[in-house]
Structure 1
Amino acid sequence: MKFDLHTHHFRCGHADGNIRDYIEAGIQSGLQVIGISDHTPYFGSDEEQAFPRIAMGKSELRHYVEEVLALKEEYAGKIDVLLGIESDYFPIHAELYRSTLGQYPFDYIIGSVHHTEDVSIFNKTRWNGLSDARKVEVKESYYALIRQSARSGMFQILGHIDAMKGNYPPFSDIIADQAIDETLQVIAESNVAIEINTSGKTKLSGGWYPSDAILERAHHYGVKVTFGSDAHKPQRVADELDDVRTRLQEIGFTEWVYFKQKQMQIVPF
């Protein structure tokens, strides 16, 4: 079985195409399951659309859900369309996100840390002038947030858990092994999956999120894995899926998972 759980579309303001385009691309790629998972609105502001180039407006959330559910029905028998969403994790706003998203019948929610210390993880200038010790602190604070997100019970999947390397490849060389190991243990204990996300190739780091080194440790701790292209263009749907599956098998994984009605579906390789 082939699936891709991480796709975006025009509503978020930085992706191309509509939802139907991604579903059709999934069919062309031979998928049996495709998850639609655009970015949540930013609920921590009174504004309708605080960040138009990052996340959909609040009033669009209902329309997004309705459209995905209508397409799910239309494509039944051709491809299983899942209603997902990618949610930021902000501890200060966590309960607002939990209560708002809880009003909708999501098959799964991807929890992604995109900001630490109020700065985007993709802002490469944030590293300018930092001492080695301070860089370690920043990396450890990133993984502390990921641990909190795993423990929150809000998410079925954690998104791109080393994406801070995206626009700053030296991130991978900052030594924080204890923080990473603790994070993987918490993820395993929380029965949350991590995605292998192939969108790293669109950033300076190249490659996948997370690295092979982290995947090997994830396997050691019994972390469940899933697949997401994080496609922002329809042509990237299922991008490198077969290569990811092969690499996971080489590491020692024998299965991966997806979620339907928030229930884990195990797919053996």
Structure 2
Amino acid sequence: MKFGKRVNLHTHTFRCKHAVGAPREYCAEAVRQGLCTLGFSDHQPFPDGRFDESRMPFGDLEAYAREIETARQEFPELNILTGLEADYVRALGKSFYEEEFFNKRKFDYLILGPHFNDPPEAGAGAGAAENVRLRVESTIRAMETGLFAYVAHPDMFACTGLSWTSEIEALCKELVSAAVALKVPLEINAYGLRKPWIDTAEGRRPQYPWRPFWELAAELGATMVVGADAHRPEDVWSNAEQAAAWGAQFGLVPANAAVAAAVVNGRKPR
């Protein structure tokens, strides 16, 4: 496999219930837009159906994989990878993720998508800074498992309109420092640039990516990837160039091709 400039590993399908389109539709659009590698990373389901409003039933995993394999046969000119965007639940343990997704189903990769605290009920009624602390702690625990190719939208918590305080800066420094030490790339998420901007005490800005977070990430030597986070076939590369430019202003260069190559070469859980 050759990995050129246009590599996107963050792609959803209709199965997550808040996206549209089947794998073959995303692949057709990826070919049209000049991608060389497309990775599917629909939201990881749980056997007990938790969070099922935003992900497929657990029993649909085989159909999801079959649809991607069918697309792989139909589009031989495209490198197609099978993965999931996963929320790590410590109570299930690393072995659950290894067994279900790598050993049993032979998926190529997982990306960490921190959407909830771990456990999810943690932080109920807590203030903004406390919830950021909980999210940072759970993200670091997940990175430490070695399960994940990279962390999607690590600054998503900024969507609440946070201000960059010394406390928030310290928490973000903790997260980025852990990513650097563990050699886990962080994603500038292009979907955040497609979402409505928000008014904050510091002015109007995207919900994420968050400028001070990425300034800090560059300062600490983080590895960056760009994720289209496509929820429609036409968005397989939407705003990805803008996201790359966002990182470039701080000296960050996308490592998408290197991450995809590592996935293909089998450098999965440590």
TM-score (norm 2): 0.82
Q: Greater strand share, 1 or 2?
A: 1
CA deviation digits over 1:114-171, x for unaligned, max 9? Answer: 11252599xxxx67xx5xxx332221111111111111111011111111233x2236
Q: Which residue of 2 aligns with 1:27?
A: 31
Whether the 8 Å CA contact 1:107–1:259 is kept in 2: the answer is no
Q: Which residue of 2 aligns with 1:71?
A: 71
Taking a change above 3 Å as real, the CA distance of residues 5 and 171 of structure 1, as seen in their structure-2 partners, is farther
TM-score (norm 1): 0.82
Q: Which residue of 1 aligns with 2:148?
A: 155
Q: Which residue of 2 aligns with 1:113?
A: 114
Taking a change above 3 Å as real, the CA distance of residues 185 and 120 of structure 1, as seen in their structure-2 partners, is same
Whether the 8 Å CA contact 2:218–2:252 is kept in 1: the answer is yes
Taking a change above 3 Å as real, the CA distance of residues 261 and 75 of structure 1, as seen in their structure-2 partners, is farther
SS in 1 for 2:260: strand
1:6 equivalent among 10, 31, 38: 10
- Distance, in Å, in 1 between the alignment partners of 2:252 and 2:18 is 34
Amino acid in structure 2 at the alignment position of 1:190: L
- Distance, in Å, in 2 between the alignment partners of 1:53 and 1:146 is 22
Amino acid in structure 2 at the alignment position of 1:159: A
Taking a change above 3 Å as real, the CA distance of residues 204 and 216 of structure 1, as seen in their structure-2 partners, is closer
SS in 1 for 2:229: coil
Q: Which residue of 1 aligns with 2:227?
A: 228
Deviation at 1:7, TM superposition (A): 1.0
Whether the 8 Å CA contact 1:164–1:171 is kept in 2: the answer is no
Taking a change above 3 Å as real, the CA distance of residues 152 and 207 of structure 1, as seen in their structure-2 partners, is same
Taking a change above 3 Å as real, the CA distance of residues 162 and 68 of structure 1, as seen in their structure-2 partners, is same
**Counterparts of residues 15-164 of structure 1 (less than 5 Å):** 15-43=19-47, 45=48, 49-77=49-77, 79-95=78-94, 96-103=96-103, 104-116=105-117, 118-119=120-121, 134-164=127-157
Q: Which residue of 2 aligns with 1:197?
A: 189
Deviation at 1:106, TM superposition (A): 2.6
- Distance, in Å, in 1 between the alignment partners of 2:262 and 2:14 is 25
Whether the 8 Å CA contact 2:197–2:207 is kept in 1: the answer is no
CA deviation digits over 1:83-137, x for unaligned, max 9? Answer: 121111111123323321122333321111211252599xxxx67xx5xxx3322
- Distance, in Å, in 2 between the alignment partners of 1:138 and 1:208 is 17
Instruction: Identify unmatched segments of 5+ residues in structure 2.
Output: 199-204
Instruction: Identify unmatched segments of 5+ residues in structure 1.
Output: none
SS in 2 for 1:81: strand
Q: How much is the aligned-residue C-alpha RMSD, in angstroms?
A: 2.6
Q: Which residue of 2 aligns with 1:179?
A: 171
Whether the 8 Å CA contact 2:12–2:41 is kept in 1: the answer is yes
- Distance, in Å, in 2 between the alignment partners of 1:255 and 1:58 is 33
Deviation at 1:208, TM superposition (A): 6.4
